[in-house]
Amino acid sequence: MATLGLNLYSPSMGHQCILPKSQYSPSKFRISCSSLFLQNNKFKREYTSVMIVPTGVGAAIGGYAGDALPVARALSSVVDCLISHPNVLNAAMLYWPMPNALYVEGYALDRFAEGLWALQPVHQNRVGLVFDAGIEEELLMRHLQVVDATRASLGLPIVGYTVTDTPLLVEKWVDPTSGQSTGRIQCPDSLLRAVESLRNECKVDALAVVARFPDDDIEDLDDYRQGVGIDLLAGVEAVISHLVVKNFHIPCAHAPAVLPPQLNMAVCPKSAAEEIGFTFLPCVLAGLSTAPQYLVKGNNFSDNCIVAGDVDSVILPIDACRGDGALAFANRKINKPLIIAVEENQTVLNDTPDSLGIEAVKVSNYWEAIGVIAAHKAGIDPNSLRRNRINNITPTTFVPSNGYAKSSIKSFV
């Protein structure tokens, strides 16, 4: 015969239990409406979401100094695993640790989306740094002091650094066709030699690159500090990190070395994180310290790695859907993720889901986007939360292999 009892929570025992009525004491237990058994359902896999804000495209949210980080923080509280890239997670002197967020460089994120690479979570990486020989001595010392501060105050595993044998000679410009920032380094071989040397000497698992950037024109800098225009540094930063990741298949992120700008009394809050120090290194080193390793297809993917088929949803700006990663996710034949396009986050691009033939859920802002993801994670059609957005189900017509007879499926088995 079943035992009658109450579903109770014990502060001393730290878990729910079913207690016979004869043993119930109000002083020791309280009634709980907890749904922990649903949250810990071992029969459902983790819900994984990818957040993309392309670099150097003047995104209204995510085009400045870490101003998309609040979105990532909110999203990470809803999903089980968040995958994003440095442009979203970096905020110059600021950062925010999110245990369930994976810090993935943009080139690697594209290869991951294409199914060519997998992500292997880690407990900790040995991080090394490559500094541009073109950095002035005093500016280099400022960066080294920041490195030592992150080692002493944050306990980050920074194991060594090297300086390139020649200046990298960074150039930056705006692409006249797309309107996004881009650029190049004139001496890429110098960077690759430095990375190779550091890997051999220090056995690093992840790498930060600090290149000396040309100082911005006052007019362009003032626009960015006022929260308008594009980040003129971001495009070539991506070029630098892409070069390292493509050649060495390890996590990499870049922090520009620039002279501190003169004090401006009216800096836009979303650009202000770059005003409070001599370097943008802290967020880069924090992100790289736990960034997942990249496993290339052809090497056996382990059971605990994450592959593109594990992704349940992808969230990105409404007009920035042509990137390699976005297209790869949108064109998946199996395990296709839900694509969510945010209308409020506009860029200088014009690559909308409609123009590319991408099936996407369009939302007004990130508030709505996170609500859609919450519903999707719960196994609910997000449209069912809207007024009059569920229509009568219709039959599906198909053509059999003989090419002539037609039939309709009008019910489910």
pLDDT digits (tens, 9 = 90+) for 282-312: 999 999 999 999 999 877 777 789 999 999 9
Q: Output 89 or 391, whichever has higher pLDDT.
A: 89
Q: Report the pLDDT averaged over residues 338-343.
A: 98
| 186-190, 193-197, 275-279, 347-351, range with the lowest pLDDT | 275-279
Confidence band of 241 (pLDDT split at 50, 70, 90):
very high
Is residue 8's pLDDT more than 70? no
Taking the C-alpha atoms of residue 115 and residue 382, their distance in angstroms, rounded to an integer, is 27
pLDDT digit string (tens) for 17-48? 444 444 444 444 444 444 444 455 666 789 99
Q: Residue 387: what pLDDT?
A: 86
Confidence band of 226 (pLDDT split at 50, 70, 90):
confident
Taking the C-alpha atoms of residue 127 and residue 288, their distance in angstroms, rounded to an integer, is 7
Is residue 54's pLDDT more than 80? yes
Q: Where are the domains of the chain?
A: 5-35, 48-296
Cβ-based neighbour number of residue 393 at 10 Å = 9
Using DSSP's 3-state secondary structure scheme, residue 98 falls into coil
Between the CA of residue 90 and those of 86, 266, 287, what are the distances in Å?
5, 22, 8
Q: Output 29 or 330, whichever has higher pLDDT.
A: 330
Taking the C-alpha atoms of residue 216 and residue 362, their distance in angstroms, rounded to an integer, is 36
Q: Report the pLDDT averaged over residues 313-328.
A: 97
Q: At what angle do helices 234-248 and 188-202 cross, to 10 degrees?
A: 50
Q: Report the pLDDT averaged over residues 146-157.
A: 96
Is residue 258's pLDDT more than 80? yes
Using DSSP's 3-state secondary structure scheme, residue 155 falls into coil
Taking the C-alpha atoms of residue 274 and residue 264, their distance in angstroms, rounded to an integer, is 12
8 Å CB contact between 364 and 152:
no
Confidence band of 224 (pLDDT split at 50, 70, 90):
confident
